[in-house]
């Protein structure tokens, strides 16, 4: 049995497709997919408590790169589920994967990725990813793995 398209993602948010997100070709403009990814990324960062600020000595996330593989055009009206997970953690960064699923079609509309670097906003340089953030990523990702294995 094949797992559901979002089964291995710990963060899944639901968003409506807005009429104003469509372009002259009658489908959601490509830049909007990156906004959807951003919304899932922020939900993920909230879940691991890594938004930066005074409590982290000025260390926070900064997006270094992102990409998208468009698979299905989206259009109004629709509701989408946007998911995020971390697939790799390095000394100063982590790599996230994203997935957008159309509720109307039940199909994957896009897959993407992003590299998030730990950034020292006080000294304006990259930093080591804090150990507590690493631990929270591991904890969040392991809950999904246990859920998948339990099925």
Backbone angles phi, psi at 42, to 5 degrees: -65, -40
Q: What CATH number did the domain enclosing 91 receive?
A: 3.10.129.10
66 domain-assigned: yes
User: What residues does 28 pair with on adjacent strands?
Assistant: 22
Structure tokens that stand for 36 in this block: 């959807």
Question: Would you state the pLDDT for residue 98?
Answer: 98
E strand or H helix at 129, and its extent? Answer: none
Q: How many structural domains comprise the chain?
A: 1
> Within a domain: residue 40?
yes
Classify residue 3: in a domain, yes or no.
no
Measured on CA atoms in the order 141, 15, 68, 44, is the torsion positive or negative?
negative
Task: With respect to residue 1, please indicate whether it lies within any of the assigned structural domains.
Answer: no
User: How confident is residue 135, by pLDDT bands cut at 50, 70 and 90?
Assistant: very high
pLDDT of 80 strictly over 70: yes
For 72, the 3-state DSSP assignment is coil
118 in a structural domain? yes
Give Rg (Cα) of the chain: 16
Domain that holds residue 110: 11-144
Whether residue 5 is contained in a domain is answered as no
The sign of the dihedral angle between the CA atoms of 141, 132, 68, 74 is positive
This prediction's pTM = 0.92
Going by pLDDT thresholds of 50, 70 and 90, the confidence category of residue 11 is very high
Confirm whether 24 is domain-assigned.
yes
């Amino acid at each position: 049995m094949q797992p559901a398209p979002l089964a291995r993602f710990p963060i899944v948010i639901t968003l409506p497709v807005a009429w104003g997100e469509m372009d002259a070709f009658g489908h959601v403009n490509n830049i909007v997919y990156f906004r959807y990814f951003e919304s899932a990324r922020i939900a993920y960062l909230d879940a691991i408590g890594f938004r930066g600020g005074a409590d982290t000595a000025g260390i926070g996330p900064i997006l270094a790169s992102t990409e998208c593989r468009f698979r299905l055009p989206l259009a109004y009206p629709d509701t989408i589920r946007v998911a995020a997970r971390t697939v790799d953690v390095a000394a100063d960064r982590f790599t996230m994967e994203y997935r957008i699923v159309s509720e109307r079609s039940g199909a994957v509309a896009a897959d993407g990725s992003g590299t998030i670097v730990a950034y020292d906003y006080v000294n304006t340089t990259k930093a080591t990813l804090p150990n507590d953030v690493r631990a929270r990523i591991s904890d969040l990702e392991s809950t999904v793995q246990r859920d998948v294995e339990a099925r």
